[in-house]
Amino acid sequence: MKLNLLFNCLSALLFMSACGDAKKTEEEQPMHINDTAKIDEGDLALIENTTSPLSETNPLLGFYVGGFIADIKDESKLPMYMNKINISVDSIKNDILFGHSVVAGNNRPFKGNILQKENIYTAQVKEPGDDKYDGVFTFTIDANEKTLSGTWTANDKKLPVTKRNYNLKQREFRYDPSKQIVIDYRIEIYDPHSVGKDVAEIVTSDAAQHNASTETLKKEDVENMYKRDLEIMRNAIYARHGYTFQNRQMRYFFDTEVDWYIPVSTNITKELTELEKQNIKLIKSYEDYASAYYDGFGR
């Protein structure tokens, strides 16, 4: 009986010890953490340094394109009433917006503050100030509508235009050599110096009869064309690459008559294809000697 009692006591002690070890083992097992939920030092730095809900993958980033409309202007200085502008939102860090504008042959960086109220973002950004055409952009971005609208005020109050407004849509640029210009009627090239004269430079459908980015042009294709038609055909190559035109007449045509045109760069020379270079050379050789004007009765 004593042996049975001793056996029972030993069994109870062993059982209690085993339960204790099992409980201890269970308590010491680490909790399983999903790898995607871990926060590393980079994440901590990002959390500590970011006060804005925006990120580099935010859909606000990109190109916003449309008319840059003269608001306050000096008529005596022959202002350009409308240019096409591309306002690019490049990045947003700690409520600071970085971007650049491309318009009228200029590519200018800017920087400033951005604030959010629901789906509307308000920003005021400044260009560097070392160019005579620099100024300050104040705009709002509607995240739902993908629009950017506001005003630009020039630093130099002696410019022909000292304030402009704009209402831009977000757009994507992609070089596409097949893009065509369409001319359904004769378009008079804007030239303030020709006002009141009985001659005008006209662009006709001849300018759109060949695509100089996809076709190998022959002299027979261009030798009887007028100067402006040749110039439009040649510059359509640059427009497909997103070149921003300094030439006022070319800028007027592509800004107002070509919907797919988006100004993105001041220098696209390295992006031209060999075919395009060949056609540019041919067109230019005839362009220099072509007749420039139509009279009041047509061709």
**Per-residue pLDDT tens for 245-271?**
999 999 999 999 999 999 999 999 999
130 and 195, same domain (yes or no): no
Range of the domain at 157: 62-171
With 0-12 / 13-18 / 19 or more C-beta atoms within 10 angstroms meaning exposed / middle / buried, residue 174 is exposed
Would you say 4 and 12 are in contact if contact means Cβ atoms under 8 Å apart? no
pLDDT higher than threshold 90 for residue 276: yes
**Does 282 fall in a domain?**
yes
**Does 43 fall in a domain?**
no
Name beta bridge partners: 65: 86, 169
Q: What pLDDT score was predicted for residue 113?
A: 97
80 and 160, same domain (yes or no): yes
**Does 102 fall in a domain?**
yes
The residue among 165, 167, 188 whose CA lies nearest residue 257 is 188
**Does 204 fall in a domain?**
yes
194 and 141, same domain (yes or no): no
Q: What pLDDT score was predicted for residue 194?
A: 53
Q: What pLDDT score was predicted for residue 6?
A: 41
The angle subtended at Cα 154 by Cα 151 and Cα 157, nearest 5°, is: 130
146 and 246, same domain (yes or no): no
69 and 162, same domain (yes or no): yes
197 and 283, same domain (yes or no): yes
Report the C-alpha gap between 67 and 261 in whole angstroms.
12
Domain count, the chain: 2
166 and 192, same domain (yes or no): no
Rg (CA), the chain: 33
**Domain CATH for 134:** 2.40.160
Q: What pLDDT score was predicted for residue 189?
A: 76
Q: What pLDDT score was predicted for residue 187?
A: 82
Q: What pLDDT score was predicted for residue 196?
A: 52
158 and 227, same domain (yes or no): no
In one-letter notation, the amino acid at residue 55 is S
pLDDT higher than threshold 70 for residue 181: yes
Check: pTM over 0.85? Answer yes or no: no
**Does 56 fall in a domain?**
no
135 and 192, same domain (yes or no): no
CA–chain centroid gap for 218, Å, is: 35
**Domain CATH for 202:** 1.20.58.1690
**Does 165 fall in a domain?**
yes
HSE-CB at 165 with a 13 A cutoff on CA atoms is 4
- Please identify, among 171, 205, 229, the residue that sits at the C-terminal boundary of a domain: 171
In eight-state DSSP terms, residue 281 is H
pLDDT higher than threshold 70 for residue 39: no
- Please identify, among 171, 204, 222, the residue that sits at the C-terminal boundary of a domain: 171
Stretch 113-124: mean pLDDT: 95
Q: What pLDDT score was predicted for residue 25?
A: 34
Average pLDDT, the chain: 81
**Does 4 fall in a domain?**
no
160 and 229, same domain (yes or no): no
Neighbours of 87 (CB within 10 A): 26
**Per-residue pLDDT tens for 201-232?**
789 999 999 999 999 999 999 999 999 999 99
**Does 41 fall in a domain?**
no
193 and 281, same domain (yes or no): yes
- Please identify, among 147, 171, 195, the residue that sits at the C-terminal boundary of a domain: 171
233: helix, coil or strand?
helix
216 and 279, same domain (yes or no): yes
